[in-house]
């Protein structure tokens, strides 16, 4: 069975490869933010 997930995103105008790129960008930003705001009590 083939996933319809990529086709659904393409139907919204966002190609699947661009979606993957954006998800990676968001994950890296989140990681950097969490790393910068981590502290010890």
Q: What is the pLDDT of residue 23?
A: 96
CA 40 to chain centre: 28
What is the residue extent of each domain of the chain? 5-37
d(CA 24, CA 22): 5
CA 24 to chain centre: 4
Q: What is the pLDDT of residue 40?
A: 59
- pLDDT per residue over 1-41, tens digit each? 788 988 888 899 998 899 999 999 999 999 999 988 876 56
């Amino acid at each position: 069975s083939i996933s319809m997930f990529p086709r659904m995103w393409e139907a919204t105008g966002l190609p699947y490869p661009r979606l993957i790129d954006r998800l990676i960008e968001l994950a890296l930003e989140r990681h950097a933010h969490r790393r910068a705001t981590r502290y010890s009590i």
